[in-house]
């Protein structure tokens, strides 16, 4: 890397912010630019999540990336935060019907090997933790004590503060409309980005555009990887229970619904996955109505009204894993997309991995004991 190198990160959600922060920390770039189309950062999927950290969730590279993120999440640099990023919550998974017990056993088996294992709880013990569900003899439950709520706004802000402290720049209301390769003979930098506010020349482009990742690639002449945005619905409702702010996160073992206490309310979701185009996602009334019916049937919330509703796009690669790393035929175009349903809890690790792959060409020491197999993330796996 020459000392005059410039890097642009396209997309100011959690993926772009964490990558920009980690790239700025390397001190290998003269300019680190975070470019966001919207007037505010994090207003798409990042601002719409359930904000949960669970070490025992996700397949393939998700757990290694989560493991690599834990030290930042638990113990962020003091200069970047005003308080903790995590608040202990605990997660109770419920198998309601006998036919769901096999899935619970599968998840238990995977979770017993974890650093913080999942344990099965008897229904009496689980009932004390979760008065908002009626547990009967046909229920089985498992408990992950070390699950936390993440303060997503503070986490995103920590990356932004760190980026600014290390000299990075943030450009909002600035859509990247296209990217062009300058010719090898030109004296200009390799990439010319056409943006709302004018052209920008850089050496490296990091694509962290979430649901728009394939569109950004296409405008740069790079083959899409096959991202699929999936809409997920959520809403808030008042809690009918005293002290429910201390209740655990409650999730159905087959992920048909979940509830997260939030002060005197519950955030509820039918955990739906509805294919969508990249867009400013909105909750559909029919999905909210179905969710209320389901959650009322399975819990004691007795929802009659809701106070707010929203939807967000969880975007997946074709094999459901993230796509992180340089495009094989054009290594100065770097992917950081497909964060799916775990982009918040994996963000410190994913951002670090982008910086490692750009500057070292390999995962660095943060990934030493995580079991990361980087080939499960590299775009190479999706190129025939």
Q: Which residues sit at the interface with ligand FAD, rule CB under 6 A?
A: 10-16, 35-38, 42, 44-46, 48-52, 175-176, 208-212, 216, 232, 234, 269, 312, 314, 339-345
Provide, rounded to whole angstroms, the least separation between the CB of residue 140 and ligand FAD.
Answer: 23
Q: Which is nearer to ligand FAD, 36 or 287 (CB)?
A: 36
DSSP 257-320: -EEEEETTEEEEE----EE--SS-----HHHHHHHHHHHHHHSS------SEEEEEEEEE-TTS
Angle at which helices 62-74 and 347-359 pack, to 10 degrees?
Answer: 110
Contact between 35 and 171 (Cβ < 8 Å): yes
Edge-first strand listing for the sheet containing 323-327:
169-171, 31-35, 6-10, 204-207, 330-337, 323-327
Q: Which is nearer to ligand FAD, 42 or 253 (CB)?
A: 42
Q: Residue 81 burial by CB count (10 A; 0-12/13-18/19+): exposed, middle or buried? A: middle
Q: Which is nearer to ligand FAD, 275 or 384 (CB)?
A: 275
How far apart CA 234 and CA 238 sit, in angstroms, is 14
Angle at which helices 347-359 and 14-25 pack, to 10 degrees?
Answer: 50
Q: Which is nearer to ligand FAD, 53 or 358 (CB)?
A: 53
Provide, rounded to whole angstroms, the least separation between the CB of residue 66 and ligand FAD.
Answer: 8
Q: Which is nearer to ligand FAD, 12 or 61 (CB)?
A: 12
How far apart CA 220 and CA 200 sit, in angstroms, is 14
Q: Which is nearer to ligand FAD, 84 or 105 (CB)?
A: 84
Structure tokens at 159: 């990356």
Provide, rounded to whole angstroms, the least separation between the CB of residue 19 and ligand FAD.
Answer: 9
Provide, rounded to whole angstroms, the least separation between the CB of residue 98 and ligand FAD.
Answer: 28
Contact between 207 and 11 (Cβ < 8 Å): yes
Rg (CA), the chain: 21
How far apart CA 123 and CA 126 sit, in angstroms, is 5
Q: Which is nearer to ligand FAD, 208 or 303 (CB)?
A: 208
Q: What's the CA dihedral at 292, 276, 13, 9 to 10 degrees?
A: 170
According to DSSP, residue 190 is labeled S
Provide, rounded to whole angstroms, the least separation between the CB of residue 96 and ligand FAD.
Answer: 21
Provide, rounded to whole angstroms, the least separation between the CB of residue 280 and ligand FAD.
Answer: 9
Q: Which is nearer to ligand FAD, 326 or 351 (CB)?
A: 351
Provide, rounded to whole angstroms, the least separation between the CB of residue 375 and ligand FAD.
Answer: 21
Q: Which is nearer to ligand FAD, 33 or 135 (CB)?
A: 33
Contacts of 9 (CB under 8 A, 6+ apart): 16, 19, 20, 23, 32, 33, 34, 35, 206, 208, 336
Phi, psi dihedrals of residue 363, rounded to the nearest 5°:
-65, 140
Strand pairing class (148-150; 52-53) = antiparallel
Provide, rounded to whole angstroms, the least separation between the CB of residue 122 and ligand FAD.
Answer: 27
Contact between 319 and 344 (Cβ < 8 Å): no
Provide, rounded to whole angstroms, the least separation between the CB of residue 228 and ligand FAD.
Answer: 13
């Amino acid at each position: 890397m020459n000392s005059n190198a410039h890097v642009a990160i396209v997309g100011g959600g959690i993926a772009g912010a964490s990558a920009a922060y980690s790239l700025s920390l390397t001190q290998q770039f003269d300019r680190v630019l975070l470019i966001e189309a919207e007037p505010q950062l994090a207003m798409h999927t990042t601002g719409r999540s359930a904000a949960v950290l669970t070490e025992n969730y996700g397949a393939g590279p998700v757990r290694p990336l989560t493991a690599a993120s834990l030290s930042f999440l638990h113990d962020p640099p003091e200069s970047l935060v005003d308080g903790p990023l995590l608040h202990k919550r605990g997660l109770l998974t419920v198998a309601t019907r006998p036919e769901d017990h096999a899935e619970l056993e599968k998840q238990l088996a995977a979770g017993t090997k974890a650093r913080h294992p999942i344990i099965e709880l008897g229904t009496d013990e689980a009932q004390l933790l979760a008065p908002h569900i009626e547990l009967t003899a046909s229920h089985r439950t498992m408990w992950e004590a070390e699950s936390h709520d993440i303060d997503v706004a503070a986490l995103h802000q920590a990356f932004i503060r760190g980026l600014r402290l290390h000299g990075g720049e943030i450009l909002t209301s600035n859509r990247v409309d296209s990217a062009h390769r300058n010719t090898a003979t030109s004296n200009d930098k390799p990439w010319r980005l056409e943006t709302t506010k004018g052209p920008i020349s850089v050496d490296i482009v990091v694509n962290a555009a979430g649901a728009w990742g394939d569109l950004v690639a296409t405008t740069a002449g790079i083959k899409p990887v096959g991202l699929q945005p999936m809409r997920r619905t959520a809403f808030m409702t008042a809690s009918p229970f005293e002290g429910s702010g201390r209740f655990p996160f409650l999730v159905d073992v087959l992920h048909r619904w979940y509830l997260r206490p939030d002060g005197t309310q519950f955030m509820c979701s039918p955990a739906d996955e509805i294919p969508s185009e990249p867009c400013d996602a909105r909750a559909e009334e029919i999905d909210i109505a179905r969710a209320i019916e389901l959650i009322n049937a399975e819990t004691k919330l007795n929802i009659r009204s809701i106070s707010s509703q929203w939807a967000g796009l969880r975007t997946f690669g074709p094999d459901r894993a993230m796509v992180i790393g340089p495009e094989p035929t054009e290594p100065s175009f770097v992917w950081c997309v497909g964060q799916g349903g775990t982009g918040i809890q994996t963000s410190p690790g994913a951002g670090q991995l982008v910086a490692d792959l750009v500057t070292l060409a390999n995962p660095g020491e943060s990934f030493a004991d995580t079991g990361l197999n980087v080939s499960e993330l590299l775009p190479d796996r999706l190129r025939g």
